[in-house]
Structure 1
Amino acid sequence: MTDYHDSQDSYESYDSHDEEHGMTRRQLMRHAGWFGGAVVLTVAGGEVISHIAGPRGTDAEAAAFATATGSGALRFVQVSDSHIGFQGPANMDVAGSFTEAIRQVNSLGFRPDFVMHSGDLTHLSTAGQFDQVKQMLSGMRTDRVFTVPGEHDSIGDAGRAYRRTFGTGTLGDGWYSFDTHGVHFIALVNTLSLEKLGHLGNDQIDFVRRDLAGLSSDTPVVVFSHIPLFAMYPQWGWSTDDALKVIALLRRFSSVTCLNGHVHQLFTKTEGNITFHSATTTAYPLPRPGTAPAPTPQVVPARQLKHALGIRSVGYRQGDRELAVKDQPLT
């Protein structure tokens, strides 16, 4: 944390339950492959209902986002998977595209209360790459920058170099929590004890148990991690093997949102009171689950690359019980 100026279901198996959570199969499949509009999530009755705006959005959708990001609201930005140090045809200039993402954050028309980078800040977790991304993050016009590590930030040293650069004020292997605007945030680390799936470990799960114990059940909770906390596609390691122990602790809260990176694409799944929302990347796209032998960087025409990369802004106004999420491509 740096302060600057569950099942083995397949990807397809999630579709059969989406309509009861406010999304049809067609809507969800559009969402999974969609870049460029706004995804508005409304918290109501303990469920997050997702609908997809067009490139400009309807007047009602624009009003909903404006309400949630108006005066006195919490407004923050999520960026993910910058992979500083990557070299390859999928993106010949990841530092340049991350610079574009930072410029876009700085041009949103509001100053975010904080920016969260949800992992894979670097590609090879070298000291030089950590220094470079730290310097780049310092250019964000926000009061605070928070981070969680990705597996690429933990290569060869179990995350020690990452924690030396970004771990000030964190606990254990880099986890922590904080409160602002009536929302409780938890930042988790599930990229250290990797065999195939993400892993939290008993010490971190105990931290979550103690951290949540004193909160009332109507407190909105937002959880950040790098690897998804649901079984998005375990065949590619897109899941966390012991996440259900944390999910069980979150069930008593009326509104829980889990935001992750790692998969380099937009995807939303809702289970009761919990929504899981995967972010896109600022580096390079990965294939949709089941469409390729492995999740390797995808080469797209140069003029299409920015449409597959992006940032996420989130707004929440205390007492309204609304959470607005807007995903935007790099432009």
Structure 2
Amino acid sequence: MIGESTQENSGPEGMSRRQLMRHAGWFGGAVILSVVGGEVISHVAHNHDQAAAATAADDPNTLRFVQVSDSHIGFTGPANTDVTGSFEHAIDRINSLGFRPDFVMHTGDLTHLSTPGQFDQVKQMLSTVHTDRVFVVPGEHDSVGDHGTAYRRAFGANTSGDGWYSFDTHGVHFLALVNTLSLEKFGHLGTEQLDFIRRDLAGLKSDTPIVVFSHIPLFAMYPQWGWTTDDSLQVINMLRRFSSVTCLNGHVHQLFTKTEGNITFHSATTTAYPLPKPGHASQPVPQVLPAGQLKDALGIRDVTFHEGDHALAVKEERLT
């Protein structure tokens, strides 16, 4: 914070509402998902949805927050010659959503090389977001050469251990985890953090909605590229008793959704540059897209929760 199952890959045709919920990523920013009377409803977004969003945000029982990820401030390369401009555009998009988010979460790789200047730049840029609170978790690019020391100096106030923490709002319990500091091949949480999670969840009722933020996925998205967390099963087992769990991550620079029982995983896109889809390249390196197509691959995520519901509505917003 600032200063303080089965994988499915079919297309959208003929999907049930449950399948639509699982495949929100197929539709980019065009599909809004909401929960009404316990049933997931989907519809195609139109211009009037901003007004509806503003109305919903006036309800004190409605939680609205935005996820951004992988801004990579300091990156230079042909995949995006102006990552600062892209991140500024993402912030402008947040500030023009038609409602004031309860908070904004950045799920890591704030910087590209974790220099003090890059952290200062990100911190200043995030201070321009129209929200009361901004939270962050680190990516592996935020701990280059110093095990996250510069990151924690900039963003580690009121966190535990290497930067993990939790908070509550609107009846939802949030966990912000760090799985990027002990990288060999995979993400890793470690014993100290697992003990923190166990203590943190112990007193919660099983009907408490849980949202977990991390940089690297907590599921085996593509282990060949390190897109998983080696000790995440211990966390998943702690979360199985809760009726609604949503895990939001960054790192992979693309939309991907997976549901396992009561737990839904959503990988976010990036504000910097795209990476190839799993298996479509020998390694995950920045992709250069044809002229004019970059913004189609970049975006932010708008999440809504109404107290009394048992699922979160997730909407993707492209930077186009």
Asked if TM exceeds 0.5, the reply is yes
1 CA distance for matches of 2:130 and 2:308?
27
Q: Distance in 2 between matches of 1:33 and 1:316?
A: 21
**1:66 to partner: Cα distance:** 7.5
Aligned position for 1:107: 96
% identical aligned pairs: 68
Do structure 1's residue 23 and structure 2's residue 13 form an aligned pair?
Answer: no
Instruction: Report which structure shows greater RCO (CA 8 Å, sep ≥6).
Output: 1
Answering whether residue 212 of structure 2 is matched by residue 223 of structure 1, we say yes
Match of 1:35 among 28, 38, 63: 28
Give the 3 Å change call, closer, same or farther, for CA 35–160 of structure 1 in structure 2: same
The answer (yes or no) to whether the contact 2:69–2:108 under 8 Å persists in 1 is yes
Contact residue 67 and residue 104 of structure 2 kept, 8 A? yes
- The Cα shift of 1:41 comes to 6.0
1:171 aligns with 2:160: yes
**Which of 96, 107, 128 is matched with 1:118 structurally?**
107
What code does the residue aligned with 1:23 have? Q
> Does 2:241 match 1:252?
yes
Deviation at 1:257, TM superposition (A): 0.3
Once residues 16 and 89 of structure 2 are traced to their aligned partners in structure 1, the CA distance between those partners, rounded to angstroms, is: 38
Q: Which amino acid aligns with 2:19?
A: M
Q: Distance in 1 between matches of 2:187 and 2:56?
A: 33
Change (3 A) 1:162 1:62: closer
Equivalent position of 2:150 in the other structure: 161
Measured against aligned partners, the alpha-carbon deviations of 1:124-161 in whole angstroms (never above 9, x if no partner) come to: 00111001000000000100100000000011000010
Q: How far 1:304 sits from its partner (Å)?
A: 1.1
* Residue 326 (structure 1) aligned with residue 319 (structure 2): no
Counterpart amino acid of residue 2 in structure 1: I
The verdict on how the C-alpha distance between 1:184 and 1:206 changes in structure 2, with shifts beyond 3 A counting, is same
Whether the 8 Å CA contact 2:253–2:273 is kept in 1: the answer is yes
- How many angstroms does 1:20 deviate by? 10
Query: Deviation of residue 317 (structure 1)?
Result: 1.4
Aligned residue runs from structure 1 range 198-277, under 5 A: 198-277=187-266
Q: Quick one: distance in 2 between partners of 1:143 and 1:66?
A: 16
- 1:40: how far off? 1.9
Gaps of 5+ in 1: none
Structure 1 residues 214 and 31: alpha-carbon distance in aligned structure 2, compared to 1, 3 A threshold:
closer
**1:224, 1:266 → 2: CA distance?**
15
Write the letter of the residue equivalent to 2:18: G
Mark the CA change 1:17 to 1:246 in structure 2 (over 3 Å): closer, same or farther.
farther
Deviations 1:229-274 (A, max 9, x none): 0000000010000000000000000000000000111111000110
- Map of 2:46 onto structure 1: 56
Match of residue 287 from structure 2: 298
Counterpart amino acid of residue 279 in structure 1: A
| TM-score, structure 2 as length reference | 0.90
Which one of 183, 195, 207 corresponds to residue 184 of structure 2? 195
Task: Please report the RMSD computed on the Cα atoms of aligned residues, expressed in angstroms.
Answer: 2.8
Determine if contact 2:212/2:246 at 8 Å carries over to the other structure. yes
SS in 1 for 2:303: strand
Equivalent residue for 2:305?
316
Q: Contact 1:40–1:65 (CA<8 Å) still a contact in 2? A: no
Relative distance call for 1:50 and 1:252 in structure 2 (3 A) is: farther
1:319 match: secondary structure? coil
Q: Which runs of 5+ in 2 are unaligned?
A: none
Q: Is the 8 A contact 1:68 1:317 kept in 2?
A: no
* Structure 2 CA distance for partners of 1:120 and 1:44, relative to 1, 3 Å: farther
